[in-house]
Amino acid sequence: MAVTVIEAVPAALNKHVATKERKVLVQGGEDPDPEMKRRRDFVQLMMQDAWDDYVRYAWGNNELKPISRTGQTGGIFGTAKIGATIVDSLDTLYIMGMEEEYQKAREFVATNLTFADVDATISIFETNIRFVGGFLAAYALTGDDLYREKALEIGSLLLPAFDTPTGLPWSYFNIKTLEPNPNPQAVLAEFGTLHLEFTYLSEITGDNRFKETVDRIREIMKTIVKPNGLYWNFINIMTGNWTTNHVSIGALGDSYYEYLIKAYIQLGDQEAKEMYDAAMDAFEDNDLIKTSVQNRLLYIAESRDDSPQNVVGHLACFAGGMFALGAHVDPNGRNAERDAEIGRNFTNTCHESYIRSNTRIGPEVFRFSDNLEAESEFDNEKAYILRPEVLESYFILYRITGDRKYRDWAWDAAQAIQNNCKAGPGRGYSGLRNVYSLSPQQDDVQQTFFLAETLKYLYLIFSTDDLIDINQWVFNTECHPLPIKGSNPFY
């Protein structure tokens, strides 16, 4: 399939072309190296397979069950059947130049997707990063007003969830009945992962409610007492007080820190940068940045009740890229050298978690002790659910350093995913229950983020650096690119 650079995109697909003078590459980017072209074409075929099989067996459902050959709803979107895979895939299809598939997805959004009648309890966090973020990225890339309208529609329906004494949102909320899941305990990574989308939504619509909503959250997090300088992972949204002494740069905490540095990148938000720097200092000051006893592999430990836990989740592996990105955007900062080193070394540790398994794919959780180094201990830690975080760090480190090893590591992972996760001809891709098994059992779920993140990061790492240039775009935590104000004319 031919792909094009932005200047050649049909006007119906990209309204920016006629009005913007500065070139911003959002399609094309074919590397002149024939080996990289071959790898990128391979990834595009993976996307084609994943998409075609979703269309064939699960169209309109949230996800594909590739072994069962049926659709799946439920989970983070309750009983709602709202085509989560379609929305999460929009920008991937567009960037890859898959025009026919993109148009089919757009038609679904235009004619079949409405949220006003969705009577289901949904995750505020997941709906924001996948739906609001997906629509905003599609709007930024194409200039198509449909996506701005859809982002405004779902964003407006989420706002009642923030009607609490503190302004912190309920984690799960029925957008039709306005009834929350009554658990007042909220997760740091969930209410802390709204700033990029809500701020940009206010910018492009003129509706300041969204920015005001996240500014209130920012004020709470700026002034809240942080024991030992650390953010705990759980807070009571009714009182604004921490509830559980658990700290993690991985699950439950991860994207809160990510959005602090990315708010600085997106808007030059100096306050967010200062909060980010202080948070990273706190991880170091509390001895949570550690090295293994065997081979001095750097890892970032969790903390429970002020006691370090030598455990790392796959989700935490995004942080290699985060540290490197923080150093990249502030090269003269007092922590730039430290953060660049942490970024490189932690990414290497996550790579080790991959190559030490029989599938050459990393597990959901790995540990460090006198007997373990970057490997799982318990059976429930050995799964892989098509996660992108390690590939995300490979991508960022490659874009920053130009070191080919990150491309080679990504290619090794792409082949491992193809060899172990393909559910058979015409059956999409599935997660694995045990990455250490010689014949791993598949879990029968093709996650939406496989198309939104995993395959997009792989495609971009084998493309030229000007395709979704990281100096012009910042990715939300679902890998949806949003324009950087001041450097990207699409903002």
The structure tokens listed for 270 are 């100096």
> Which of 386, 366, 345, 243 lies closest to 301 in space, CA to CA?
366
Contacts of 163 (CB under 8 A, 6+ apart): none
Residue pointed to by tokens 């989700």: 315
Burial 280-304 (b: 16+ CB within 10 A, else e): bebbeebebbeebeeeebbbbbbbe
Q: Measured between alpha carbons, how far is 298 from 351 in angstroms, rounded to an integer?
A: 12
Residue pointed to by tokens 């009945």: 177
Contacts of 238 (CB under 8 A, 6+ apart): 164, 165, 166, 184
Burial 370-390 (b: 16+ CB within 10 A, else e): eeebbbbeeeebbbbbbbbbb
- Angle in degrees, 0-180, between the axes of helices 389-401 and 319-329, rounded to the nearest 10: 30
Active-site option among 101, 190, 302, 364: 364
Q: Measured between alpha carbons, how far is 31 from 11 in angstroms, rounded to an integer?
A: 25
Is residue 364 annotated as a catalytic residue, yes or no?
yes
Residue 456, H or E segment: helix 455-461
The structure tokens listed for 180 are 């929350």
> Which of 263, 103, 117, 277 lies closest to 198 in space, CA to CA?
263
Report the chain's terminal Cα–Cα distance, integer Å: 29
Residue pointed to by tokens 């920015």: 211
DSSP letter string over 136-170?
HHHHHHH--HHHHHHHHHHHHHHGGGG-SSSSPPP
Residue pointed to by tokens 């991880």: 283
- Angle in degrees, 0-180, between the axes of helices 270-285 and 254-267, rounded to the nearest 10: 150
Contacts of 404 (CB under 8 A, 6+ apart): 398
> Which of 377, 458, 379 lies closest to 417 in space, CA to CA?
458
Q: Measured between alpha carbons, how far is 103 from 58 in angstroms, rounded to an integer?
A: 18
CA of residue 472 relative to chain centroid, distance: 18
Residues labelled catalytic: 364
